[in-house]
Structure formats: structure tokens, C-alpha cells
């Protein structure tokens, strides 16, 4: 059975993660694993260096009090985590998802995802916006690490869910873009939505003759998509970011950290910055 991994942290993006996961689960006939990760830094108290101002007894007492504080913080974090998971699971069941599992883990977020994603077909995660609480939405600070290390597709959700009627595939012919085409051709996730295959080039005539672009267009058409192919001239990062903001676009599909003619757009921190800045969800392939 297809399985989805949905990361929930109690932030403003958690409802969107749940709604996107419920939508994807219905489309794919999938089960959902809700995962809440409590980071080590969320509960650890690091004492200042008082070696020059405290005697041995005072230092031992301080360390004991800090240990007691960490234990209490860990208990509160577990209680909060159970509440977050319970509310998220209830929201998803109300949305019609039959199989929802809940898991809470202590540790590093990226390491935990790496351990769990092999059993999942798609990872769903929220992003940090300007108004989001940084302490609660630590996913944003780790977003680039998640995207860089992911072996499965990652759906980065926007602040609120909206039905997906039209999506753009930012295509550059690189390995990650080809992986996106393979996924779209095989998966029912977006089969009812209108597809725009978009490439950006210095010379539109050359891009139109690109064999990889033509093959991608043909493959999507054969898979049942209503495909509109578009070739635009300009700086890829600016053009694709602007296209993703159009009112009639509900999703951006793109590769991450590519090594191609739109390298400046898809490599390094620029990838994460575009994802964070885009007000639409982004389905990312690496």
C-alpha cells in the first residue's frame, strides 16, 4: 500500500500539511504516517560557564536543577507532541483518510526523515513564513537540509491548502527534472489537473528543439495529461518564480540542486529561498 510521511509540529503550517496529506492520500489510496520530531535543542538546557564564580557544591546543585528542568521540559514536550498528533490525526480522519498512524520521536529532524522516508512514497512538510513562530516551526530552518538529503519526492506546503487544478513543471532536462517526469507519468496524484511544461532559455528556438523537452512533453501527453508547453526567455530564477505566483497556478513541480543550464536557479540555497518565498506548494525532486 502507498504510504505518505507527513511532518507536523504544531505551527501555523500544520493544518495545511494535514489537508495536503489528506488530499494526496485520497488521490493515491495511501495510508499516512504523522510524525512529530522533538529536537534535542528544544529540551536541553546548556549551562553557562560559571567555573570561576561557583564552588564545587554550588556547581553540582546547579547541574542537578538544570537536569530536573530538562526532564520537566521533556515531559511537557511529549504532552504537547501527543496533542499535536492527536489533533492532526482527527483532522485527517475527518477528511476521509482511513489509515493514519502517529509517531513521536526525539532527535534530529533530518536524520529522522532519512530513517523513515524509505518506507514512504512522498514526504509532506511545511515551510516557515515571515509570520510563523520560528521556535515552533523549526522545520523552516532545516528545510534546505531536508530537500538536499531527500531520496523521495517532497511536497512543501503553502500556508493554506487549495485544490490543485493547474500545475507547472519547471523542466531543465537534468536528472531531477527527468525524475519528476517519471513520477508524474506513473502516479495518479495530478492526473486530473492541467499541466504546463515550462523551460527557460537564452534562446527560445534552441529550447524548442531540445530532445529532452520534446520527450518530456510526449511522455506526459501519453500518460493522459492535458499538456501546454511553454518556452520563455530570461533569467530562469526570476521567470520561474514569477510563473509560480500566477493566480491560476496551484502547484510548482521542480527539481532540486540540478547541474544544468538553469543551475543558478536550482543549486545551493537559492532552491530553498524560492521554495520559502513561493506562495504555492512545491513538489520537489532531487
Please state which CATH class domain 166-285 belongs to.
alpha beta
Q: Which run of H or of E encompasses 149?
A: helix 143-149
pLDDT, block means (10 residues), the chain with 286 residues: 91 94 96 91 58 65 78 88 96 96 91 88 78 46 77 91 95 90 96 94 61 93 95 83 90 73 45 72 91
Cell numbers found for residue 186: 506513473
Residue 258 and residue 47: Cα distance in Å, rounded? Answer: 43
How long a stretch of residues is the chain? 286
What is the model's pLDDT at position 154?
A: 94
Cell numbers found for residue 48: 553557562
As to burial, measured by CB atoms within 10 angstroms (0-12 exposed, 13-18 middle, 19+ buried), residue 73 is: middle
Residue 247 and residue 237: Cα distance in Å, rounded? Answer: 19
Residue 94 and residue 123: Cα distance in Å, rounded? Answer: 21
Q: Which fold has domain 3-41+77-157?
A: Rossmann fold (3.40.50)
How many alpha carbons lie under 13 Å from residue 150 in its C-beta half-sphere? Answer: 27
What is the model's pLDDT at position 226?
A: 93
What is the model's pLDDT at position 263?
A: 45
Residue 153 near residue 182, CB atoms below 8 Å: no
What is the model's pLDDT at position 137?
A: 41
Structural domain boundaries in the chain: 3-41+77-157, 166-285
What is the model's pLDDT at position 266?
A: 43
What is the model's pLDDT at position 124?
A: 96
78-84: which pairs have CB atoms within 8 A and are 24 or more residues apart? 78/38, 78/104, 80/10, 81/36, 81/38, 83/10, 84/8, 84/9, 84/10, 84/14, 84/36
Check if 3-41+77-157 and 166-285 are the same fold: yes
Residue 145 and residue 227: Cα distance in Å, rounded? Answer: 32
As to burial, measured by CB atoms within 10 angstroms (0-12 exposed, 13-18 middle, 19+ buried), residue 32 is: buried
Residue 68 and residue 143: Cα distance in Å, rounded? Answer: 32
Q: Which run of H or of E encompasses 253?
A: strand 251-255
Residue 140 and residue 250: Cα distance in Å, rounded? Answer: 21
Q: Which residues contact 219 (CB under 8 A, 6 or more apart)?
A: 181, 185
- Look at residues 146, 141, 157, 168 and name the one whose alpha carbon lies nearest to residue 286: 146
Count Cβ neighbours within 10 Å for each residue of 191-228 and write b for 16 or more, e otherwise. eeebbbbbbbbeeeeebeebebbeebbebbeebebebe
Amino acid at each position: 500500500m502507498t504510504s505518505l510521511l507527513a511532518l507536523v509540529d504544531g505551527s501555523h503550517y500544520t493544518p495545511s500539511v494535514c489537508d495536503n496529506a489528506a488530499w494526496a492520500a485520497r488521490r493515491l489510496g495511501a495510508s499516512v504516517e504523522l510524525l512529530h520530531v522533538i529536537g534535542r535543542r528544544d529540551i536541553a538546557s546548556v549551562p553557562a560557564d560559571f567555573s570561576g564564580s561557583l564552588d564545587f557544591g554550588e556547581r553540582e546543585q546547579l547541574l542537578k536543577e538544570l537536569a530536573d528542568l530538562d526532564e520537566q521540559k521533556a515531559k511537557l514536550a511529549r504532552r504537547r507532541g501527543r496533542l499535536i498528533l492527536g489533533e492532526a490525526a482527527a483532522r485527517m480522519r475527518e477528511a476521509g483518510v482511513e489509515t493514519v498512524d502517529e509517531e513521536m520521536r526525539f532527535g534530529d529532524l533530518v536524520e529522522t526523515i532519512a530513517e523513515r522516508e524509505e518506507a514512504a512514497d512522498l514526504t509532506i512538510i511545511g515551510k516557515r513564513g515571515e509570520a510563523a513562530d520560528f521556535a515552533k516551526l523549526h522545520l523552516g530552518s532545516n528545510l534546505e537540509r531536508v530537500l538536499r538529503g531527500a531520496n523521495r519526492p517532497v511536497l512543501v506546503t503553502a500556508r493554506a491548502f487549495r485544490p490543485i487544478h493547474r500545475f507547472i513543471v519547471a523542466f531543465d532536462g537534468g536528472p531531477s527534472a527527468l525524475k519528476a517526469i517519471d513520477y508524474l507519468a506513473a502516479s495518479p496524484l495530478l492526473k486530473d489537473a492541467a499541466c504546463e511544461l515550462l523551460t527557460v532559455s537564452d534562446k527560445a528556438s534552441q529550447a524548442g528543439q531540445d530532445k529532452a523537452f520534446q520527450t518530456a512533453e510526449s511522455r506526459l501527453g501519453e500518460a493522459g495529461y492535458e499538456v501546454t508547453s511553454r518556452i520563455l526567455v530570461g533569467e530562469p530564477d526570476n521567470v520561474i518564480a514569477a510563473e509560480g505566483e500566477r493566480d491560476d497556478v496551484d502547484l510548482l513541480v521542480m527539481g532540486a540542486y540540478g547541474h544544468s543550464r538553469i543551475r543558478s536557479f536550482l543549486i545551493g540555497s537559492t532552491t530553498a529561498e524560492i521554495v520559502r518565498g513561493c506562495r504555492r506548494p512545491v513538489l520537489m525532486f532531487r
